[in-house]
Structure 1
Amino acid sequence: MTPDTVPEETETRVEQLTRRARAAADEREAAAYREEREELLAEHGYTARVREEERAVLVLHPAEWVEDGTVHPDRIDDIDRGIEIPLEGPGEDAEWEVVAEHNREVVEAVREEHGAVHGANAEALAEFCNNHYAKPVEKLSADEREEFLTEYYRRNVWPTDEQKAVVEESVSLAVEAASTGQPR
């Protein structure tokens, strides 16, 4: 069976793993991220490489196009099956600022509607979204929300007992506020 494309959630995760591998200080950590990326893509019959020319681009393409790390043009059946994801370049800072502003509005909406405790948790979530994924809070996948709750929140936020007790509810309130358009 030859899949037509990579599911959006897998594509997002593969991009995250690639960014983490590129930022990792330890080569073993980087290798682990790349290995997980390759395993995810293999499930869909795809492979990845980072093209470093004017700017870094993550390139995903069907594995049948590749032999010994080289894409063979005669094997390309439909060029639209290839996927390119810019990893750096113009517009990145501007896009980040738009996302950060949106997330700040979400924090304020939660704070105004649900109080300071939920607002503080929403602020921690917004910082996580901005700095780790550069995406709006409502666009986080279930796995990314879980990462926030089980890893980021415990390691990077010094919450009060009251904040800890309601953090899951706070995340839901932030996503709901963003999804319903309250922060606009």
Structure 2
Amino acid sequence: MTRTDDEPPEWAKERAREVMAAEESGEDGETEGADGEGDRDADGSDADDRVPDVPVETVDEAERLTRLARQTEDEAAAAFYRERRDELVKGHDYVPRLREDDDTLVLYPDEWMDDGTVQLDRIETTDRAVEVSLSGPGDADRYREIAAYNDAVADAVADTHGEPHADTARSFAAFMSNHYVRAVDDATPDVREEFREEYFPRNGWPTDEQLAVVDESLDVIEAVAADVDGPEES
């Protein structure tokens, strides 16, 4: 799920503090270890530059794909989302895991792992791991509110326009609720394109008739949504 606030995550603020401290500790920003050479990895890079190694955008996308996999009732779609997530974080040498006891997505550096298990003796600093809660109460409440609104719009499309727009509206409602936790009439042109080109053909099981008029259906959805009471702003 894409984060909608501007507040950086706690690890990012901590990283900023570390960078400032490192810049103040020496002319070249390196912190010296016991041997006076600084804490450097085998590849010659500062260890502090690796907290964590995975970009914020990748963390957000991994969270979004994880939520999609959990929410869909289609096992093939769920497997597809998990594979996309795994490949995404693998590109940054990380491995995703779900910690079920507190419902948290954890991204571990690949070098910590051996046969799917974290090796404690390989952990040089726990700050390199990334944790994302998947069950925040605010997010859950917001999701239910958005999903109820999107479903109401889909029902209104079915009542006023019938098929093939109705089935497309149901698919678009699910897409906007599960992918973005946003109202159907809050879709940007890029989001509409993603639905039309990627999500709908793969996960919407559209008929040829639906595909032929998908742009018209999206316009119908937006027009009908104007007459449906929308969710309150978060």
Q: For residues 122 and 29 of structure 1, what CA distance do their matches in structure 2 show? A: 19
Across the aligned residues of Structure 1 and Structure 2, the Cα RMSD in angstroms comes to: 4.8
Q: For residues 100 and 75 of structure 1, what CA distance do their matches in structure 2 show? A: 42
Give the alignment partner of residue 103 of structure 2, picking from 32, 56, 80. Answer: 56
Q: Give the 3-state SS of the residue equivalent to 1:44 in structure 2.
A: coil
Give the alignment partner of residue 161 of structure 2, picking from 113, 116, 138. Answer: 116
List alignment gaps of at least 5 residues for structure 2.
1-44
1:87 corresponding residue in structure 2: 134
Residues 120-135 of structure 1 aligned to structure 2 (within 5 Å): 120=166, 121-130=168-177, 132-133=178-179, 135=181
1:100 corresponding residue in structure 2: 147
Deviations 1:48-95 (A, max 9, x none): 111121x3211113334x142326485227x2x533223346455422
Residues 155-174 of structure 1 aligned to structure 2 (within 5 Å): 161=209, 164-171=211-218
Contact residue 51 and residue 58 of structure 1 kept, 8 A: yes
2:205 corresponding residue in structure 1: 154
Q: Give the 3-state SS of the residue equivalent to 2:181 in structure 1.
A: coil
How many equivalent pairs are there?
167
Q: Does 1:37 align with 2:85?
A: yes
Cα distance, 1:100 vs structure 2:
1.8
Q: For residues 93 and 19 of structure 1, what CA distance do their matches in structure 2 show? A: 14
Q: For residues 35 and 41 of structure 1, what CA distance do their matches in structure 2 show? A: 10
List alignment gaps of at least 5 residues for structure 1.
none
Q: For residues 145 and 95 of structure 1, what CA distance do their matches in structure 2 show? A: 25
Cα distance, 1:116 vs structure 2:
3.5
Question: TM-score normalised to the size of structure 2?
Answer: 0.47
Contact residue 61 and residue 83 of structure 1 kept, 8 A: yes
Larger Rg: 2
Q: Percent identity?
A: 28
Q: Give the 3-state SS of the residue equivalent to 1:75 in structure 2.
A: coil
Contact residue 96 and residue 105 of structure 2 kept, 8 A: yes
Question: TM-score normalised to the size of structure 1?
Answer: 0.57
Instruction: Write 1 or 2 for the structure with the bigger share of helix.
Output: 1
Distance 1:24 1:106, change over 3 A: closer
1:12 corresponding residue in structure 2: 61
